[in-house]
Structure 1
Amino acid sequence: MGKYIGKRLLSMIPVLFGVVTLVFFMLHFAPGDPARTVLGESATEADLVQQREEMGLNDPILVQYGRFLTEIVHGDFGTSYLTGRPVGDEILQRFPTTMLLTILPILVMIIIGIPTGIISAIKQYSWMDKTCMVIALTGISMPTFCTGMLLTLAFSLNLHIFPPSGFYGPIYWVLPSITIGFGAVALLTRMTRSSMLEVIRQDYIRTARAKGQTENKIIMHHALKNALIPIITVIGLQAGVQLGGAMVTESLFAIPGLGNFMLEAIKGRNYPVVQGGVLFIAFTFCILNLLIDVIYAFVDPRIKAQYKAGKKVKVKKQ
């Protein structure tokens, strides 16, 4: 297992390198002038030239790229054009808010999505199943920003139950968490239902019923345990997707997180902040995927057996 984790960590290097390269050149070839953004529209041409020189924007693009890679290797994400503070400090200051806004919807997704999917599977084609699938289809089809605006309109402006913006306590977390988690719950419900339906039709489930096992034990011990791999995959992927969804939600609810910070940086042509933020999110996404792969081994012993003693072992198919 340790060797497998080491290989996965090494495989992150080309992924992160590709992300850094793509973001760097996309930003630098996009229209706009960061010096103009920093100095304002009233700045003279001489001031702009001097500012570009101080920011290193007059150097050839490959020189800028090489300098950026060197700084990244040494753990330096650069300095924000607008605040003058290290980008790494700015990111770490805001990342806990974004991470909390990612974890809460994941908890909502697990608590609601898995039980709903199980009920839909064991009550297939019933009114409960059809109702859950209609709600799930609605959740998947509705964009995040649309869900957020409808929730704000209903529960903040009309009912005055939850605050419309901010992130200063548990009551402020409710609407953003539901906004992000609604689509994720719908997706997990459909995946749980599909995976459970495939498992409960297997021969060993019929054998367990023939032996007199209770239905609850059959569902929770035999069926759910064997249906967990695709469910865990969806949870892991959604954890990464939530980081992107959090950006839109942060802007919608005026939450001082990493997403809102990066949106402002994109509008202000703040290259170091955008590059550092994207790299940090990509690294977090890679770590989440690695964590999901490790969890696979604890859920399914066959996967752990493949990396026993650091060597792959071929598992005989039944």
Structure 2
Amino acid sequence: MFFLSRALRSALTLWAIVSVVFVATRLTGDPTYYLMPAEMPEQQRVELREKLGLNDDIATQYLRYGKALVRADFGRSFFSNRPVADLFFERVPNTLLLTIPAFLLSVAMGLCGGIWAALRHNSLFDRALTTATVVMQALPNFAVGIAAILIFSLSLRLLPSGGMGTWKHMVLPVITLALASSANIAHLVRSSMLEVLAQDYMRYARSKGLSPAVVVLKHGLRNAILPVLTILGLQFGGLVAGAVVTETVFAWPGVGRLVIDAVMKRDFAVLQFGILMFSTAIILANLVVDLAYGLLDPRVRGK
């Protein structure tokens, strides 16, 4: 029942997001002004809107869109006249090339930094990490990305400022994506580890003569990791959403830039499918975390 309720809740959330995005896109403006020159006769513009199905009321368009989704028909781009699924799946590997390394890097940095800060509580490193996490959580991705380009590309000339090619092109966007996420993870790991280290069973484990590594990793981290699992789904979702901005800053040819272009041109089908993809990724990540939490802690399944 626990797993079924979580899956149903995720499906309803996705349906609500798709519905809101559909209505919102229709309120953003007329895409025919981007498809046709401004001096074109109004009659031709009306005919184009009729061809695209934009002259119908929103309810009729919504029902037509829902029926198409059931058939896995996501529509065609107004500008390229290609299926939007093809446009996205061409670029998904490029986006994954950023988000997966960024996620792994953020988890590694967050775990190592949070554990070390907890073990060195109130030390200089602990205070520095706490300050750094607050700063990194406050800075937006685009600001970090622009600063990285100014320092490492324009001033030091160590790394490319944008585009896609060698592994060097990945360094700045991956680090930019990972920094804020690793700060969130480190902050939570530190708090959770401090709470666990104060427990009686940790003192008992140390009194048995176990090595510090065994005490921290086997007994401490095992109990401190449960609250961290909850935030990992959110962090992965944040990386997926952050890729939109990061790809734009670094001119990375991923789905994020495709969505930004669709927003600027009012390409409804591309924008709707992009939001559908991002929402699905975020919801699935959180669903996996919920299910994993339920498996690791049976008490959760009773809620």
- Counterparts of 1:122 and 1:297, CA distance in 2: 29
User: Counterpart of 1:77?
Assistant: 74
Q: Which residue of 1 aligns with 2:280?
A: 283
Q: Which amino acid aligns with 1:12?
A: S
1:261 corresponds to: 258
Q: Which residue of 2 aligns with 1:156?
A: 153
Q: 1:224, 1:24 → 2: CA distance? A: 44
Q: C-alpha displacement at 1:189, in angstroms?
A: 0.9
For residues 94-109 of structure 1, what are the structure 2 equivalents within 5 Å? 94-109=91-106
Q: What secondary structure sits across from 1:19 in the alignment? A: helix
**Deviation of the 1:290 alpha carbon:** 2.1
- The residue number in structure 1 matching 2:188 is 191
45, 49, 52: which one aligns with 1:52: 49
Given residue 29 of structure 1, which amino acid in structure 2 is its aligned partner? Answer: L
User: Distance between the aligned counterparts of 1:105 and 1:65, measured in 2?
Assistant: 36
- Between the aligned partners of 2:37 and 2:169, the Cα distance in structure 1 is 35
Q: CA deviation at 1:296?
A: 2.9
Structure 1 position 123, deviation (Å): 0.5
Structure 1 segments, 4+ long, off by >6 Å, are: none
Deviations 1:298-317 (A, max 9, x none): 6x3x43x876xxxx6x9xxx
> How far does residue 6 in structure 1 lie from its aligned partner after superposition?
4.6
Aligned pairs for 1:1-318 within 5 A: 4-30=2-28, 32-296=29-293, 300=296, 302-303=297-298
- Bigger mean CA offset, 128-137 vs 49-58: 128-137
Q: In structure 2, what is the Cα distance between the partners aligned to 1:127 and 1:276?
A: 48
Indicate the SS of the match to 1:33: coil
Checking the alignment, whether the CA contact within 8 Å between 2:294 and 2:300 is kept in structure 1 is: no
What secondary structure sits across from 1:169 in the alignment?
Answer: coil
TM-score (norm 2): 0.95
Contact 2:31–2:266 (8 Å) recurs in 1: yes
Distance, in Å, in 1 between the alignment partners of 2:123 and 2:6 is 44
For structure 2, the residue ranges without an aligned partner over 5 or more in a row are none
Letter in 2 for 1:33: D
Letter in 1 for 2:232: I
One-letter amino acid matched to 1:138: V
1:263 is paired with a residue whose SS is: helix
- Offset of residue 169 of structure 1: 2.8
CA RMSD after TM alignment: 1.7
5+ residue gaps in structure 1? Answer: none
Instruction: Report how many aligned residue pairs link the two structures.
Output: 303
| 1:197-252 CA distance string (max 9 Å, x none) | 01111111111122222222111110100000121222221000111100000110
Question: Is the 2:111–2:186 contact (alpha carbons within 8 Å) kept by the matching residues of 1?
Answer: yes
Residues 36 and 43 in structure 1, CA contact (< 8 A), matched pair in contact too: no
